Every structure is written in C-alpha cells, then in structure tokens.
Amino acid sequence: MKEFAQLELNEQLMQAVSAMGYEEPTPIQEQVIPLMMAGEDVFAQSQTGSGKTAAFALPILNTISPNQGYIQCLVLTPTRELAMQGASAFHDFGKGGNFSVLPVYGGQAYARQITRLQKGVDVVVGTPGRLIDLMKKEVLDLSHVQVVVVDEADEMLSMGFIDDIKAILDATPNSRQTALFSATLPEAIRQLGSRYMRKPHSIQIEDKHMTVDTIEQRYYVVDRKQKFSALTHLFEMENIERALVFASTKISTEQLSSTLSARGYQAEVINGNLDQDARIRVLNRFKQNQIQVLVATDVAARGLDIEDVSHVFNYDLPREAEGYVHRIGRTGRAGKTGIAITLVTPKELWFLKRIEKFTKQEMTKCEIPSAEDILKKREADLLERMRIWLKRDRCAKEKELINVLIEEGHDPLEIAAVAVKMARADEKQRPVESFSATTEITHRKSSKKPRSNIHPSNEEGMVRIMVSSGRRDGINPSEIVGSIARFSNIPGRSIGKILIRDNHSLVDIDARYVDQVLAKTGQIKMKKDSVTFKRA
Ligand code: ADP
Ligand code: MG
C-alpha cells in the first residue's frame, strides 16, 4: 500500500490532498496516478465512490501548467452534476495553483461559457452534447489538448453519447494522452479504447461491494399493480433513517415522490426534469438530513456522492445486474448494516436470479407485511412512545390540563382514550393500502383522500394561494403537491388543503413557506403549462 508521499505529486497538490482530509490513496489512485504521470493511456475500472476523480485530476494537475491560454485538459462526463462535481474537484485540488477550470453543460447560457473560453481556460469538464454545440459554434479549440479523460464511460454509452465522444476525440491531437474511467467495462467501451488509445494499461480494482457483505438483501414478489401499496407497507414496517428509492422512469419517480409526500414522508425526486439548481438543492437537503427519502432514476443518481443511507429500495429492477450492485452499494457503508429491498414481479424473477448469480449472493425472499401487521406495529410504536414519556415524567403542564377535565367529572380512562385518539390523527394521512388489483389506479388519484377537502377553510398557520390551473386542465391534487413541493423546494407536509375548481385551484401553504412558493410564479409547469400563483 502506497502513501500519497510516494506518488511524487508536487508540494501544492500534496497540501491540497491533505486539506481534503485524504490520508492515503485509494487502490485506483495508487495504480492510476503513477501511470498517468508517466504519460500512459489507461483504462480504469472501479466502482462508484472509489475515488476515480482524484485518480485523474491529481496527475493531470501535476503535469499541466496554469494559464497557458488554451485548453490543455478535457474531461467528458455524462451529466451536468458530474460536470459540476468534476470541475469543483479540479478547483479544490488545484487550489493555490491558479488553474482555470470551466464546467460546460447544457441548460447554461452560451454567452458566459463562450466568454470564459475566449479568455482561455486550462481545464474543461463538460457533457458531450454541449461540447459538440460549442465546437459547431467554433468557440471550442481543442487543438492543444494534451489529456482527455472519459469519465463514467459506461454511462456515456448507455446514454447514447458514443458518436459525440468519437467526434470530440477526433478534434483533439493524436498525440494526446487518453484515460477512460468506468464502473463497468462493456465490450463497446473496450472497442472505443482500442481505437482511440495507445497501448492502454488496464487497471481493474476488485469491487469490494461486489460481495455486499454488510447489506441485508431481501426481495418481495408483487404484481406490478401492487407495487405502490407494497412499498407503503414496507415504509411502515422498516425503521427508515434515510432511503434511496430507485424507479425506472422519470414519471414514476415523480409519482412515487408525490404520493410518499402526501403520506407524510419527506420525499423528493432527483431526475433529469429538475433544473440544475433544484437538483443541487435536493441533493444537499438529503445530505443534511432535511429529506428522508430520495426517489431517483439510475442515470440521475449515478456517480452522485450519496452514501450512508439506511435503506435502498429497488422499486423497479435495474436494467443490468451491475446496476444492482451500484444501487445497493449506497448502503451498508463504514461497517454499518444496510438494507436493500427489491420489488420484483413474477415475470421478472429470472432477472433476479441473474442478479444473484452476478453478486454470488442470495437475496432472502420475504412477504409483504399485511395491513394487520401495520396496524399492530403502529399500536406497538404508540405504546412504546407513551412508555417512554411515562418514564420521563415530564408532563406537568399536561397534568394540569387533564385535572381541569377530571374536576369537570370526566373519567381518567376516557380522557386518556380521547388524548390518544387525537394524537393519532396524523395516521389518517397514511391509510393502509390494501392489496387489491386496483391499487395502482386508486393510488394515482388517491392523494385526494388525505389532501383535498371540498370545504374551503383557512387553518391556523396556513395561507391560501390561488394556482392558475384547475379541473379543466386535468390537474389533480397529487400533482399539485408534487410540483409545488419539489420545484419550490418545500416539504410536502407544508401543503395543506387543496380545492380544485374548474379553471383554478386553491391551495393552503404553511405560512413559513408561502413566499418561497409565490416566488416561483410562472416558473412551474403542471400538465405542460406554466402556472401562476397569487394569494387567494
Ligand atoms: P468515483 O468517481 O469513483 O465514484 P469520487 O472520485 O467521486 O469516486 O470519490 C468519492 C468520494 O471519496 C469523494 O467524496 C472523494 O472526496 C472521496 N475520496 C477520494 N479519494 C479519497 C482518498 N484518497 N481518501 C479519502 N477520501 C477520498
Ligand atoms: Mg466519478
């Protein structure tokens, strides 16, 4: 095992590494850094989270000189997040070295990118689509590039960027150094490598999480239509600290997140539909434990620095067996036990077997807890909480209140029963879903039950706003909750009663968040149309 000191990085980089708190290089860094410093081409395969960014950023920063006035290094990444994360890593490592680093991705104004490019930058970290656009505009000069890194190459491939990558590589000098990083190495990537690399060194790091030892893996066989209610049952029974839920499409991530929010869980989405700022805010809120559940697509979650969740739910199966390992690797870190739960339909069981073969581990088959189990668990939890309070004996004020009722002649058992009933009112928000063939359909419309109320009322602490979309636009309550919560970045809980009228809707918002919502007027789309908000 090498130490950073043995890697012959310059003084400034050694300081940056220790400022980052890195004590020793990760296996991939240990192997890749010396090769890249020697100018060799590399193929590097290691799992997500193994430190690939520093494995290329450090040797590159050690080699190039700042302020040459042209692009010396180009890093290709599949998504905007990764472009930003990559650029900020170069920035952090290059601190004190005066390197200029530019992230380049779609959705950002061209003008700023072009101005920066014209001033001259040392390192560009970008997504293929935008880089191609800039090449077409003839503002991206790649003729002095010395090093190209293709990061998350497998993801690039499955996103269909292969031709873009080739076009970009063709625009760089043949003498360049090329490094390709990937969590998996499908055949197409090897081919890309053999065409564009010179005697590449292949570095493969045994995937520790492949053994997924510390993860409890379970699976539940459910019909497709029962998946959502199965999920809500599991949410009730598991002690979830932070959960990552994977779904296969953007639409289903959104449906899941709105319906989970409507049931009182702090759930938000990470998918390609969120604008850049919203995605970063969501990720930060999850890291800071302000959100309990993140519902994501593979593509949006890939490579993001999300770790240490208590549960990973595979609401839909991943497309590939490798994907399963990447997903569940987010839990069970640092010696803790994590739980990975997979929902599988009878037709998909063959694929589950394939995953088991791939991980060389069996998942445990379990039964979805019944409605009765859940009610029992709720009762047991309630009694447990009450026992704790009874031990604490911290209810002097409450006792005074109860005494008022006792003096009025009420029976203490009756009073206690009423108090419990009131304390459990929030459970109404979480009706226990039964397993019926219609679950999915009921559910789409369902947030009606807890949310919409035909009688307008202004509860204390809530402010009513008018939303310019109504029944005629086909809007429904769960969509309103979902869109407002997500795009104005407020918890689903802070949205109260919803009244849908023909051409507008009335929505109660927690007063603390109302300005945050009003600020988004005209910026949020529901059913494809932008909607406006104003105080009702
Ligand atoms: P990958 O690209 O392989 O998915 P990253 O480069 O994003 O992994 O690194 C994952 C996390 O590990 C980051 O938070 C990074 O700062 C951290 N990290 C990288 N190298 C080291 C190291 N040598 N020691 C400690 N932490 C590291
Ligand atoms: Mg990475």
**The pLDDT of residue 187 is above 60:** yes
Pick the CATH number of 215-370 from 3.40.50.300, 3.40.50.720, 3.20.20.140, 3.30.43.10: 3.40.50.300
| Residue 50, ligand 1, Cβ within 6 A | yes
Pick the CATH number of 441-535 from 1.10.1040.10, 3.30.70.330, 2.60.120.260, 3.40.50.720: 3.30.70.330
Ligand with smallest separation from the Cα of 18 = 1
Each residue's pLDDT tens digit, 380-400: 999 998 998 888 888 889 999
Better-scored residue on pLDDT, 57 or 305? 57
**Which residue's CA is minimally distant from atom 12 of ligand 1?**
51
Each residue's pLDDT tens digit, 12-38: 999 999 988 888 899 999 999 999 999
Ligand with smallest separation from the Cα of 17 = 1
| Alpha carbon distance 481, 490 (integer Å) | 10
**Which residue's CA is minimally distant from atom 22 of ligand 1?**
22
**First-residue to last-residue Cα distance in the chain:** 66
Distance 300 CA to ligand 2 centre (A): 13
Position 438 confidence tier, pLDDT thresholds 50, 70, 90? very low
Residue 181, class by beta-carbon neighbours within 10 Å (0-12 exposed, 13-18 middle, 19+ buried)? buried
User: What tokens were used for 472?
Assistant: 């005629």
Task: Note the pLDDT of residue 456.
Answer: 39
Task: Give the mutation target among 4, 20, 29, 53 for probing the ligand 1 site: most ligand atoms within 8 A of CB.
Answer: 53
Q: Rounded to a whole number, what is the largest CA-CA distance in the chain?
A: 93
Distance 272 CA to ligand 2 centre (A): 18
**Which residue's CA is minimally distant from atom 26 of ligand 1?**
22
**The pLDDT of residue 455 is above 50:** no
Most confident of 145-154, 477-486, 511-520: 145-154
Task: Note the pLDDT of residue 300.
Answer: 75
In the chain, DSSP finds a helix count (H) and a strand count (E) of 22, 20
Task: Note the pLDDT of residue 449.
Answer: 36
Pick the CATH number of 4-204 from 3.40.50.300, 3.40.50.2300, 3.40.50.2000, 3.30.1450.10: 3.40.50.300
| Residue 48, ligand 1, Cβ within 6 A | yes
pTM score: 0.50
**Which residue's CA is minimally distant from atom 1 of ligand 1?**
49
Task: Kindly report each contact of residues 372-375 with a partner whose C-beta sits within 8 Å and lies 24 or more positions away, as own/partner.
Answer: 373/233, 373/237, 374/233, 374/236, 374/237, 374/432, 375/432
Query: Strands 42-45 and 177-182, how do they pair?
Result: parallel
Residue-by-residue DSSP string for 408-474: TT--HHHHHHHHHHHHTGGGGGSPPPP--TTHHHHHHHHTHHHHB-SS----TTEEEEEES--GGGT
| Helix residue spans in 316-370 (DSSP H) | 321-328, 349-359
Distance 82 CA to ligand 2 centre (A): 7
Position 319 confidence tier, pLDDT thresholds 50, 70, 90? confident
Each residue's pLDDT tens digit, 54-74: 999 999 999 999 999 999 999
Element (H, E) at 113: helix 110-119
| 215-370 and 441-535: identical CATH topology | no
DSSP SS3 for 503? coil
Residue-by-residue DSSP string for 514-532: HHHHHTTTTTEEETTEEE-
Q: For residues 415, 421, 426 and 429, what is the CA-based torsion angle, rounded to 10 degrees? A: -160
Task: Note the pLDDT of residue 451.
Answer: 39
Q: Which residues pair with 495 in a beta bridge?
A: 509
Residues in the chain: 536
Task: Note the pLDDT of residue 83.
Answer: 94
The residue ranges of DSSP E strands in 299-355, in sequence order, are 311-314, 338-344
Sketch the domain layout of the chain as residue ranges. Answer: 4-204, 215-370, 372-429, 441-535
**The pLDDT of residue 469 is above 80:** yes
Position 304 confidence tier, pLDDT thresholds 50, 70, 90? low
Ligand with smallest separation from the Cα of 88 = 1
